[in-house]
Amino acid sequence: MASGFFALLDDVATLMDDVAAMGKIAGKKTAGLLGDDLAVNAEKASGFISARELPVIWEITKGSFLNKLIILPLAFLLNAFLPSAISIILIVGGLYLAYEGAEKIYEYFVPHSNKNETPKFQKLSKQQILSLEKEKIKSAILTDFILSVEIVIIALGSIADQDDLLIQILTVSLIALIATVGVYGLVALIVRMDEFGAKLVSLNNSFSDKIGRFLISALPVVIKSLTVIGTIALLLVSGGIFTHNIHFIHDLLAGLPSLLAEFLVGLVVGFIVLLVINLASKLWKKVSAL
């Protein structure tokens, strides 16, 4: 009985070693995308009043966990029985990410005519604030879903030569867990920089006072930077989806550095999708008015 128990422990230890080894490989393949995921989601989770930041991040985190619970089994099933569907799903997701990135650029240079008429956040009622929060949370969870699909598929592809299904499941699940806990943990730290800085200032220590004031003054810069980085990340991720899954595009831009090629592809595709959606929206309004 004892020998059987220790044999089981040895098997578990061997399995964990294999998962750790495969996790390192998958982690290297997805590291860049996890960085993009952090930038995008930090930008999505910012812009709320201080008291609502952590509750909002928690709601997005729960949505991210649900996304992984949906994506992981579907990814394993599709990879086993219908691998061609994975590329189609990735491309559809890439179209959405490219559109979202292009829309942010378009809104910056050509803002909506009613942008200045939008009431300031602090003048909104509690119900209006909660309604706006729900909209941003839904948008963040949808973007998280698409990024999560890309992360899971890349992680799965990086260990495709591993025949043991259990190791594949545990490794990709580990990467998915890191993509949620790690990313949103860092997001929470970023958006609470000013609160931490205020606590350091309240210690009445010259050294902590300097650090605290630096953190407080740095937060707006960090948030604005994340908006830019998040937009670039959306275009890079979407461009990467197209260059990695459409051979024509990959071969056409083979002479360019990969980052530049992915950014250009994401930008061009994004503005094409944006143009199509804007034209379709105008056409729908004309048809509805008849």
pLDDT, averaged per 10 consecutive residues of the chain (290 residues), comes to 46 49 51 58 65 80 88 84 79 85 87 50 66 82 81 73 71 80 79 80 82 84 77 84 84 87 92 93 83
Neighbours of 223 (CB within 10 A): 17
Between CA 29 and CA 14 the distance in angstroms is: 23
Look at residue 267 in the predicted model and tell me its pLDDT: 94
Q: Which domain holds residue 141?
A: 2-289
Read off the tokens for 136: 């941003």
Burial status of residue 35 (CB atoms within 10 A of its CB: 0-12, 13-18, 19 or more): middle
Look at residue 161 in the predicted model and tell me its pLDDT: 63
User: How many folded domains does the chain comprise?
Assistant: 1
Between CA 161 and CA 241 the distance in angstroms is: 21
Distance between alpha carbon 59 and the CA centroid of its chain, in Å? Answer: 15
Look at residue 269 in the predicted model and tell me its pLDDT: 93
Between CA 31 and CA 151 the distance in angstroms is: 9
Residue at 102: amino acid letter: A
Between CA 177 and CA 171 the distance in angstroms is: 10
- C-beta separation of 60 from 44 below 8 A: yes
- C-beta separation of 242 from 269 below 8 A: yes
Between CA 97 and CA 8 the distance in angstroms is: 45
pTM above 0.85, yes or no: no
- Burial call 187-215: b when 16+ CB within 10 Å, e when fewer: bbebbbbbeebeebbeeeeeeeeeebeeb
Residues 6+ apart with CB under 8 A from 34: 151, 178, 179, 182, 183
Residue whose pair of structure tokens reads 């982690």 in the numeric block: 27
Look at residue 175 in the predicted model and tell me its pLDDT: 80
- C-beta separation of 43 from 225 below 8 A: no
CA nearest neighbour of 146 among 241, 55, 230, 229: 241
For 101-178, where are the E strands, in sequence order? Answer: none
Look at residue 15 in the predicted model and tell me its pLDDT: 45
Where residue 196 falls (left for φ over 0; alpha for ψ -120 to 50; beta otherwise) is alpha
- C-beta separation of 98 from 266 below 8 A: yes
Look at residue 131 in the predicted model and tell me its pLDDT: 80
Q: Helices 126-158 & 165-191, crossing angle to 10 degrees? A: 140
